[in-house]
Amino acid sequence: MASKIVNMRVNGRDEALVVSSLTTLQDVLRDKLDYTSVKDGCSQGGCGSCSVIIDGELRLSCLTPVQEVHGSEVTTLEGLNQSNSITALQSQFIEKYAAQCGFCTPGMMVAIKALLDKNPSPSRDEISEALAGNICRCTGYLPIIEAVESVVAEMSGAAGD
Ligand code: FES
Ligand code: FES
């Protein structure tokens, strides 16, 4: 199994790691770098709990070989904790009872942040579409979508981040 040095920037920090060709970005983020907001719901691309942003694009870290991320900028939920939209989203998730066990919530937050970065005023359909890959077994999806709509309403007219 060929090993390689991978350099990447994670949440604003430069990292250099020796990894095998089978190592996923999810393995590295959780087990080597301790970013435990990256969950492991299925390990096979079916739940969205491992979502991260790579060079501005939403990606599933369980399906991403870490060797492919060499030279990239990776952001997990830990890297978004200064973001106004994430803070507003956390409040609205509480307000709307949009999280129960919370296992899906970090991936949802990352997916919503990726959406709002590209489209600050998404419609309900666009929000649903953006969250289509994120499975929640607790709440149903309406409270989650309503929480995002409240954040969009709150941030419209104000400077976002
Ligand atoms: S753990 Fe990656 S999609 Fe489920
Ligand atoms: S809050 Fe439990 S899976 Fe979403």
**Per-residue confidence (pLDDT) for residue 53, from 0 to 100:** 98
The mean per-residue pLDDT over the stretch 107-117 comes to 96
Report whether residue 104 contacts ligand 1, using a CB cutoff of 6 Å.
no
Residue 8 has pLDDT above 80, yes or no: yes
Binding site membership of 140 for ligand 2 (Cβ less than 6 Å): no
Give the CATH number for residue 43.
3.10.20.30
Q: Are residues 63 and 95 in the same domain?
A: no
CATH number at residue 142: 1.10.150.120
Say what the pLDDT of residue 160 is: 47
* Closest to 136 (Cα-Cα) out of 116, 114, 110, 106: 106
Are 72 and 88 contained in the same domain? Answer: no
Give, using CA atoms, the residue closest to atom 3 of ligand 1: 45
Q: What is the pLDDT of residues 50-82, one digit of tens each?
A: 999 999 999 999 999 999 999 999 999 999 988
The pLDDT score that the predictor gives to residue 135 is: 96
What is the count of structural domains for the chain?
Answer: 2
Task: Let me know whether 105 and 138 are in one domain.
Answer: yes
How far, in Å, CA of 7 to CA of 15, rounded?
Answer: 6
Residue 66 Cα to ligand 2 midpoint, Å, equals 27
Domain assignment present for residue 64? The answer is yes
Please report the pLDDT score of residue 161 as a whole number: 54
161 domain residue, yes or no: no
Write out the residue range of the structural domain in which residue 114 sits: 82-155
- Same domain flag for 124 and 69: no
- Residue 158 is predicted with a pLDDT of 62
Specify whether 104 is located in the same domain as 134.
yes
Q: Tell me, yes or no, whether 160 lies in a domain.
A: no
Locate the ligand 2 atom nearest the alpha carbon of residue 102 and give its number. Answer: 1
Burial class (CB in 10 A: 0-12, 13-18, 19+), 53: buried
Interval 113-161: pLDDT, tens = 999 999 999 999 999 999 999 999 998 899 999 999 999 999 886 654 5
